[in-house]
Chain A
Amino acid sequence: MSRRPAGIAAIKNKNLAQAKYKDKGTELAETQFAQMGKQMEMFKSNLEDFAAKHRDDIRKDPEFRLQFQEMCASIGVDPLASSKGFWAEMLGVGDFYYELGIQIVEVCMATSKRNGGLIGIEDLRRKVEASRGRNSQPISMDDLLRSIKKLKILGNGFTVHKVGGSYLVQSVPGELTLDHTVVLQQAQENGHVTQSSLIQMLGWEEERAKRSLDFMVKEGLAWVDDQSGIELSYWFPSLIPDFSNSSS
């Protein structure tokens, strides 16, 4: 069977079909888009409803606040991104974290004389709560960490170190290396370490232990005690809970 070139009618038919497909495709895309838009609209209004409905819970209950934050994060919404966004208007959460940030700075400054600019997160939490007055809502560790993250915008003044199961917040510039954090971790249990305990527990060389401890003393983070036995022990005020109300 010999092949004939396609006739004009066939080509026309084909073109027509293609155009029709195209039209259908656009139509489909349009409905999909509209549907998506509608879904987004609904999602936003639901989220708003949710936020409005649970506004008080979000402000008052640290646990709930954390869950809300996590939910927002998983869908790519950052309620803290702007203090002018509708979240701030809805909830005042933006303001909440900025306010908290200022209080954190204040507490850190007031206590730096005692602890050399390093404070345990639990201590910080208690002091921030105290400074907010008796009637304000409780603050969680998560709130503090979030606020401190926001403070980073202002420069590298604030650093959070994970030490064991807890955190230490450093409010003075100064590079703490991994070694120093490990020393703090060792000291966490009873507030102090000795050179030989570092050598024994961490398998460090004497030089390494000595250098780390000397650094901590030089930075004002550690105090030396010469009455604890045959060797010096090093104490960290930042690891000892401070229950006093005065900062001096």
Chain B
Amino acid sequence: MADFDWPWQYKFPPFFTIQPNIETRKKQLEAWCSLVLGYQRQVKRYNLDVTEAQSSELFYNKQLNRRLSLEAIYIVLDELKRRGNLEWKDKNRKACTLIWRTPAEWGKIIYNWISSKAMNNTVCTLYELSNGEDSEGEEFHGLDKEILVRALRSLEAEGKAEFMDFDGHEGVKFF
């Protein structure tokens, strides 16, 4: 991906070695966390498979011939979890969801869009929202369903939407 603005650390070989000095490591992990979130945001990915990630450009800089070891990847992911930016999908910690924007923030974006389209008081299906033609070009277009549901739940809690489920068809009504 050519247009991603890699931080300077990505071109700095020791960045791929977990640092022994605690202060330096703190800076290193901070840089890794913002790199992972920034990268995911750029490629619009919400989930991360640890096995796959090992050989993705995110953790493997081919030009430098440096990669983050599996152990180190887990250290970074644990740090993201501690910051509330990550949730494991399974007990074995093989896959996770990266939360680079909270459900409430997503909810707000969706609600603003609905308001701008004067679609309040109408019912939409979830598919329409995230994959419909109307939402093309919007940030939440193609949003992971699980995250979408959570975003709508947070709107529901604010009294701005109501979640509906009829015969397996999920929809939402905005107020």
Contacts and interface: CB of A to CB of B under 8 A. Distances in A.
Interface residues of B, number: 18
A152 interface: no
A226 interface: yes
B15 A223 contact: yes
A240 B14 contact: no
A235 B14 contact: yes
A225 B8 contact: no
B12 interface: yes
Interface in B1-32: 7-8, 12-17, 19-21, 23-24, 27-28
A135 interface: no
Contacts of B122: none
A223 B66 CA distance: 14
A92 B138 CA distance: 54
A218 B21 CA distance: 6
A188 B103 CA distance: 48
Interface string A107-134: 0000001101000000000000000000
Contacts of A225: 13-14, 16-17, 66
Contacts of B27: 113-114
Nearest to A242: B8
Contact of A217 (B7, B12, B16, B21): B21
Interface string B62-74: 0001110000000
Interface in A191-237: 192, 217-218, 220, 223-228, 233, 235, 237
Contacts of B23: 220
Interface residues of A, number: 20
A116 B19 CA distance: 14
Contacts of A74: none
Contact of A223 (B8, B12, B65, B67): B12
Contacts, number: 48
A244 interface: yes
Contacts of A237: 12
B83 to A, nearest CB: 16
Contacts of A227: 13, 16-17, 65-67
B19 A223 contact: yes
A213 to B, nearest CB: 11
Contact of B17 (A226, A240, A242): A226
Contacts of A228: 13
A220 B24 CA distance: 6
Interface string A51-89: 000000000000000000000000000000000000000
Nearest to B8: A244
A42 to B, nearest CB: 56
B138 to A, nearest CB: 28
Contacts of B21: 217-218, 220
Interface in A159-216: 192
A244 B11 CA distance: 12
Contacts of A113: 27
A237 B14 CA distance: 10
Given A226-B17, A235-B13, 13 more contacts: A116-B24, A220-B21, A223-B12, A223-B28, A224-B14, A224-B17, A224-B19, A225-B16, A225-B66, A233-B14, A237-B12, A240-B12, A242-B8
12 contacts: A114-B27, A116-B24, A220-B21, A223-B24, A224-B17, A225-B13, A225-B16, A225-B66, A227-B65, A233-B14, A240-B8, A242-B8
